[in-house]
Amino acid sequence: MNKKFWMKKIIGCIIMVAAIASLLSLLVMYLWNHVVTALFTVPAISFWQAAGLLILCKILFGGIRGGWGKHRDHSWKKELKEKWHGMTPEEREKVKQEWRNRCQMWGKREE
């Protein structure tokens, strides 16, 4: 492969990451300054404070390993699917009916 091609690709990726980070920081700054300051008595924040807030949230809520959301554990979905496929049609219908009964207050509509 061509060395210029890879350099352009790397520089392009760096620019894209910087642009996305900037847009996210601007979005956080805008939302904070227009929503949070109106609801609570907190000061407005600058662009760099918004960027720092994004990084802090990533560390606190997303962890610092891997990427953004790549390490989520969805094993419960697999277990539920296996359990469902292991049921007889009568057991499935019984479970469906139980959930209909539990959720019927949301299913009722005024006619």
Three-class DSSP category at 42: coil
Binned at pLDDT 50, 70 and 90, residue 111 comes out as very low
Phi-psi bin for 109: left (phi > 0), alpha (psi -120 to 50), beta?
A: beta
Query: Alpha-carbon distance 44 to 33, whole Å?
Result: 5
Q: Which one is predicted more confidently, 103 or 7?
A: 7
Locate the domains of the chain by residue range: 3-62, 75-107
pLDDT in tens, 42-70: 999 999 999 999 999 888 887 666 555 55
Q: What is the pTM of this model?
A: 0.52
